[in-house]
Structure 1
Amino acid sequence: MASATLFAIFLLSALTFYPPSTTAQPVTDMNGNIVKNGGVYYILPLFFGAGGGGIKRARTGDETSPLSVVQSPFETDPGQPWRIRSMFKSLFIPEGRVSISYEYVQLGEAFESNEWIAVEGQSEGTFVKVGYPNSLSGFFTIHRASSANSYKFQFCSSDGKSCGNVGIVKDEAGNRLLAINQETPFEFVLMQLPSAATKRSTNHEKSYTFSV
């Protein structure tokens, strides 16, 4: 009953803040709970043990700061927390346009922005970065993927007419880079930070062995 009431409240907020033509299904976390607009979550691979862990920043190439967005090579690493926001004034994240950012900045780091952006490489392709001054014009979107609580990201041109999947590619150093216009998208689930998550019955929760 409580879950049904909460879901009704979220839907009411959507109808209040959206015009009906732009309503969309709420994004849900790995346990089926509605993802809060502006909430902080780990971005984890759909299949545990599939060769990598969660999404985080890292130094790649000749970068002097962690400007690349990558998948951790360690399956037990949840990556870092990411704040996900919708452009709409709703309590939840609907499928569609989002911004993804981080809040923790190490002393001495100076970035143009802490949000995900798309940066075109010379021959390697287009990658997801943070802090680069020259980024492609466009935005990220989130969409349901192969299962009820799994999702994928896309990057779209500013007019929204051209979108490409965000997937994983490896560079020569073995880094698992988030790249755009990939045939196979990176499918993921969202896990709320344990400190922020509401206690729920273990009968409705999946178990991950990540150390957080």
Structure 2
Amino acid sequence: MPPHFSCYEAVIEDPDDTLDPVLDINGDELQAGERYYALPLIWAMGGGLTLSRNINGSLCPLNVVQSPSEIDNGYPLTFTPLDKGDVIRVSSPLDIEFLNIPTYCRQPTVWTVEGSFITTNGEGGNAIRNFRIQKYKETPMGQTYKFVYCVARMACQDIGRSSVNGVRALTLLVEPYEMVFAKVAAEGSQIRKVTNA
């Protein structure tokens, strides 16, 4: 069950062009509907984000986890701003989804929260409960980001990794997962790997 919070009426306004755009590792703005890998800044800190059997022992929904392999970029993500803008902007409410990923769970691959874990089977388009991308650190290699989960007017909660049953599951209220974004390359080409720190 999702965590319980007091709900307030929320209104998604028109796109706010004053908010900074989220940038990928090439310095390009993240675009709604495009596919991106969410990768750790340091190459030796594991791979990208993927899916795992539910931590609680059930088959579905699936947990969002970090791949343990540095050479695994994980599954691509797509971002859909709730304000229907074309550019993904810092701190703007959005839906996050693994796009076109076949799974044995006949459920949406939109992110949601189950307990403190990030899972699939979200509905999307929720103005009260949603995910956002926020700036994390400015490094010599560029800006890094973190995911947060926000509920109405309550403070947003950082999303990080917790080791559970041998997997690095994405969870709330832990040290943020510091990441960068790499756009999925066109078929037949390769993405540029994040440089070692």
Match of 2:167, as an amino acid? N
1:2-151, aligned counterparts within 5 Å? 18=15, 23-50=18-45, 52-61=46-55, 62-65=57-60, 67-96=62-91, 97-106=93-102, 109-111=105-107, 113-120=108-115, 126-131=116-121, 138-147=129-138, 148-151=142-145
In structure 2, C-alpha distance between the alignment counterparts of 1:107 and 1:179, rounded to whole Å: 21
The answer on 1:177 being equivalent to 2:177 is no
In structure 1, C-alpha distance between the alignment counterparts of 2:44 and 2:94, rounded to whole Å: 27
In structure 2, C-alpha distance between the alignment counterparts of 1:105 and 1:95, rounded to whole Å: 26
By how many angstroms is 1:88 displaced?
2.0
In structure 2, C-alpha distance between the alignment counterparts of 1:30 and 1:118, rounded to whole Å: 28
In structure 1, C-alpha distance between the alignment counterparts of 2:53 and 2:36, rounded to whole Å: 22
Q: If each structure's strand is expressed as a fraction of its own residues, which one has the higher value?
A: 2
Contact 2:42 2:194 in 1 (8 A): no
Query: Equivalent residue for 2:4?
Result: none
In structure 1, C-alpha distance between the alignment counterparts of 2:49 and 2:109, rounded to whole Å: 15
In structure 2, C-alpha distance between the alignment counterparts of 1:78 and 1:19, rounded to whole Å: 31
Query: Equivalent residue for 1:10?
Result: none
Alignment counterpart, residue 179 of structure 2, candidates 188, 192, 196:
188
Distance 1:68 1:175, change over 3 A: same
The aligned length equals 173
- Larger Cα Rg: Structure 1 or Structure 2? 1
SS in 1 for 2:137: coil
Distance 1:119 1:41, change over 3 A: same
Match of 1:128, as an amino acid? I
Identity %, equivalent residues: 27
Structure 1: tracts of 5 or more residues without a match:
1-16, 121-125, 200-204
Match of 1:64, as an amino acid? L
Contact 2:61 2:119 in 1 (8 A): no
Q: If each structure's helix is expressed as a fraction of its own residues, which one has the higher value?
A: 1
In structure 2, C-alpha distance between the alignment counterparts of 1:207 and 1:18, rounded to whole Å: 31
Match of 1:104, as an amino acid? N
Alignment counterpart, residue 164 of structure 1, candidates 154, 157, 160:
157
In structure 2, C-alpha distance between the alignment counterparts of 1:41 and 1:19, rounded to whole Å: 22
Contact 1:67 1:132 in 2 (8 A): no
Match of 1:178, as an amino acid? L
Distance 1:47 1:59, change over 3 A: same
In structure 1, C-alpha distance between the alignment counterparts of 2:171 and 2:103, rounded to whole Å: 28
TM value normalised by structure 1 = 0.72
- For residues 74-93 of structure 1, the C-alpha deviation after alignment (integer angstroms, 9 at most, x for no partner) is 11110001111212232211
By relative contact order (CA 8 Å, sep 6+), the higher-ranking structure is: 2
Structure 2: tracts of 5 or more residues without a match:
1-13
TM value normalised by structure 2 = 0.77
Contact 1:44 1:78 in 2 (8 A): yes
Taking only aligned residues, the RMSD between alpha carbons, in angstroms, comes to 2.7
